[in-house]
Amino acid sequence: MLRFGIALAALASSGCLDCRTGGLFCGAEGTPAPEPRAVLPSACQPRAVMPRFFALIDSRDPSLAGLRVAVADLARPVCLLPQDRGCISDDQCAVGLCKDSLCPCQTSYSPLADLLGIALRGMATIATDELRRTIDVLVKSGGANVLGDLKRVVLALLDYAQGKTDGKTHYDLFTGIGRAAGAQTAACDPAAPWQMLDAALGQLTSAVAARQLSHLKTLLMHPYTRQFLAGLSYPESAQGRDSWIVLVHAIAPSITNARSGSAALDAVAAILHQVTSGAPQDFIVALDAVLSDTRAMLGDSAGIFAPLQAVLRCAGSTEVRCPDSGHCTTHDDELVGAFYDLLSRPEQVVGGGLDLTTLLTTLVGALESLVTLDRAGEVLRTLRLVVQGIEGSPDPNDPHEARDAAFALAKEALTAEEGARLVPALSVLLENGVVLELFTLLQDLLSTCKPR
């Protein structure tokens, strides 16, 4: 046997086993030896699938320092019960002993860990093929271009939050959303946002969404739209911003107090037609097409308008608009103020970016491309399954773990302090294409990864 091995080695070294030259043990035609099969990147080797992300981690990019601190904060367990743990003696504690003037925590939660656990359980309830096909739409067939347009929009908004456009940070913008998530008041129904999204997605098919987005894009791209929006703003004017907030608060009741979606839209349409009375006829046609689409979505049978009213009432409540609801005027509203800032923002600004018209046109164009790629409606169906999973039971007395976990995380994460940590890191991750890498990782996980 040893001699056979030596002889075989000698044959190999002499080229007699080289199939490229028609060696002794190869076909007479000199058939090339088969090339070794390439080992494709796999979710089993995340570094191969997400090279840019791990390059940022390995380089200890300083922009990610805030992200690490924020994640640590959000993952830290928080005592849920009892809410007031203060004590001076053991008798005041339901369980355990009073230590360092605190009773033992009986029930705790971690905003980030709880939400991730529920999200993973929720993914298990969605058909794997459904989820895989949805990710395929986003990664393949031009989906990367859609994600690229969405990235431009999100980066422009993050630039605004960081003050790259006007020199003033706007991290307080997150605080209002966080307060809405944590508000336990009559003005804020925690089920309303998810009921609204569920009903809206239930009305949409790929064909309906494509038609409505096409109408909206036509309106946004009309030259008069930019002229009209520019006329509503006074760039770099604190007075213009304040007047805009007061105006929105004056108009809002015509929607939140309306008896039906049709009645609310009639009031809004009357105002729009009045302020655009001098517009070109083709603009009016484009505007009416969008209003008609909106009227169909807000019909009584659609089930969208009632939760929409609830969301708007919550956003306009003093508990959400103001840090101190006892000292809140109609001039206070960071969310509406942010919309005005974008409205009055020139297209060419310091540091780059997009004005509101271009921002919306880019967003609508990306969504239009997405529904065109998603002719089978995989993305819409998966989104609705996710929303329904968070929405939970229609009975308010039933447990709503997913919804409560999502709101708990939003309450803790959406603050000015956490925003200052998270936003710069998110910008870096987006600029380096990490989002597309993440979708590629999920695609590989669902399609090809076979962990041992």
Q: Under a CB-based contact definition with an 8 Å cutoff, are residues 309 and 195 in contact?
A: no
Q: What is the reported pLDDT for 294?
A: 93
What is the pTM for the complete model shown? 0.72
Q: Under a CB-based contact definition with an 8 Å cutoff, are residues 310 and 189 in contact?
A: yes
Q: What is the reported pLDDT for 336?
A: 82
CA neighbor of 355 nearest in space, from 347, 363, 365: 347
Q: What is the reported pLDDT for 390?
A: 84
pLDDT tens for residues 125-172?
666 677 777 777 777 656 677 888 888 888 888 888 888 877 788 887
Q: What is the reported pLDDT for 2?
A: 35
For residue 303, what are the CA distances in angstroms to 239, 256, 308, 386? 38, 15, 9, 18
For residue 192, what are its two tokens? 């309303």
pLDDT tens for residues 288-309?
999 999 999 998 888 999 999 9
Task: Pick out the chain residues at pLDDT < 70.
Answer: 1-45, 74, 80-82, 109, 111-128, 140-143, 183-185, 232-238, 343-356, 446-452
